[in-house]
Amino acid sequence: MQKPFFAVDGASCADRANDDIGEAMRLRLFRTQVELREAEQRAYDLFLQNLVKGTSHLSLGQEAIAAGFANAMKPGDLSFCTYRGHAHTLARGVPVEKVLGELMQRDNGLMRGKGGSMHLTSAEHGVMGSYAIIGAHLPIACGAALRAQYKGQDDVTVCFFGDGTTNIGAFHEALNFAAIWKLPVIFVCENNLYMEYTPIGEVTAVKHPAADRAAAYGLEPILIDGNDADIVYRTAHAAYARARTGEGPSLIECLTYRHSGHSRADPAKYRPDGELEAWKTHDPIALYRGRLKQFGVSEDIIANIEADVRRIVDEATEKCKAAPPPPADILCTDVYADGGFAWRN
C-alpha cells in the first residue's frame, strides 16, 4: 500500500502566535464537521433500519472540505453539489431535519420527497441543487457566475465534485469556459482516491486528477490536505477573494478519503488492507479536536458542542420518524412554472 500523502507531507497548521482564523471561526469549523459526521452517521443507521430508502452517498471522512468552504462563504454565495451532497447542504446551514426528512421520504424533507438524497436543494441557503449526472453542474456553476459578473454582483459560486468528474468532458468544457471569461467560480475537487470502485489513479493520465489539469486552463495548480479544515478554510478564503476582485476562477484539489463505500450498496472491499485504518489516523474531526486543544479550548467546550449536535440530530430523527409521507397532491405540481404539468389545452 502506498503511504498516505499526509504522512509524507505533514500538515502542521498550529501556530498559536499567528492565528489568522481565530477561536470563534475555529469553533464553527469544528461544530460544522461534527454536525456533518453525526447527521451522516445517523443517515447510515436509519438506512440499516430501512428508514432511508433509495440510494445515499456519504461524505464520512470528508467533512473538513464542506466545513472549510462553507464557513468561508458569505450569505448569498452559491453552492453546487453532487449526489454526494448531504455534507455541503448541511454546511450551508440547512437544518438536519430537512435533510434527514428528504432522505427518509417524508413530507418535512427539503423537497418533500420529490428530489431525494441525490438532489438536495435549498435555494434560500444558496444550495442551488445537487446534481447526479457526473460533471453536469460545472457548466451550470459557470452560468451562475456569469450572472454575477454580468450584473456586477459580488457573490461567488462554488462547485464541488469528485475525482472521477475530472475525466468527463463537461469538466474540461467548464474549466475553459470559466477561464476565458474570468468567471467568479471556484471548482473544488474532492479527491477521495476512488472514482466509484476503481482507484482514480488507474484510470487517469496524471497523478493529481484536478491539480495536474489546471495548467491546461491557465490556472494555478492547487493541491491541499482536504482533511484539515484550517487549510481548507484558508484556501477557500483566498480563492473567494480572487473571484470577488475579478481575478477569475480557481481549481482546488482537496485530498481526502471516504470512510464508507461509494454508495450505501458498496461495502468497499476493493480497498487494500490497512488503507482505511491509515486514513483514520488522519480523520478530519479527530485532527480538529486536537487542534482545538492545542489552541487552548477546554474539553468542556468541545464536549458541549458534541453533545449539542447529538441532541439536534436526535431531535431531528424523532421529528422525521413522526412526519407523514408526502401527500399525493404534490405528485404533478411544479413541472412547469405555472405550478402544474399541463402540456396541452
Angstrom distances, CA of residue 237 to CA of 64, 130, 172, 202? 14, 23, 24, 32
Quickly count: other Cβ atoms within 10 Å of residue 296's Cβ: 8
Rounded to whole angstroms, the Cα distance separating 217 from 272 reads: 34
CB-wise, 111 or 312, nearer to another protein? 111
* Residue 251 touches another protein, criterion: CB under 8 A: no
Stretch that binds another protein, among 121-129, 209-217, 250-258, 300-308 (CB under 8 A): 121-129
Please list every residue from 35 through 74 that binds another protein, using CB under 8 A.
none
Contact string (CB under 8 A) for another protein, positions 129-148, x = contact: x-x-x-xxxxxxxxxxxxxx
* Residue 197 touches another protein, criterion: CB under 8 A: no
* Residue 123 touches another protein, criterion: CB under 8 A: yes
The conformation of residue 14, written as its DSSP 8-state character, comes to -
In this structure, which amino acid lies at residue 186? Answer: I
Q: Please give the full DSSP string across 59-113, using - where no structure is assigned.
A: -TT-HHHHHHHHHTPPTT-EEEEESS-HHHHHHTT--HHHHHHHHTT-TTSTTTT
CB of 279 to another protein, least distance (A): 33
Among 62, 71, 82, 157, binds another protein (CB under 8 A): 157
Contacts of 202 (CB under 8 A, 6+ apart): none
* Residue 170 touches another protein, criterion: CB under 8 A: yes
* Residue 339 touches another protein, criterion: CB under 8 A: yes
Stretch that binds another protein, among 42-50, 54-62, 177-185, 225-233 (CB under 8 A): 177-185
User: How many residues touch another protein (CB under 8 A)?
Assistant: 54
Among 54, 241, 308, 341, binds another protein (CB under 8 A): 341
* Residue 115 touches another protein, criterion: CB under 8 A: yes
* Residue 323 touches another protein, criterion: CB under 8 A: no
Contacts of 325 (CB under 8 A, 6+ apart): 105, 106, 107, 113
Q: Please give the full DSSP string across 123-169, using - where no structure is assigned.
A: GGGTEEEEE-STTTHHHHHHHHHHHHHHHT----EEEEEEGGGGGSH
CB 243 within 8 A of CB 250: yes
CB of 264 to another protein, least distance (A): 20
Contacts of 315 (CB under 8 A, 6+ apart): 97
Among 59, 89, 122, 191, binds another protein (CB under 8 A): 122
CB-wise, 37 or 137, nearer to another protein? 137
- CA 70 from chain centre, in angstroms, equals 8
CB-wise, 155 or 190, nearer to another protein? 155
Judged by the rule CB under 8 A, the positions of this chain that interact with another protein are: 78, 110-112, 114-116, 119, 121-124, 128-129, 131, 133, 135-148, 150-151, 157, 169-170, 173-174, 176-177, 180-181, 330, 333-339, 341-345
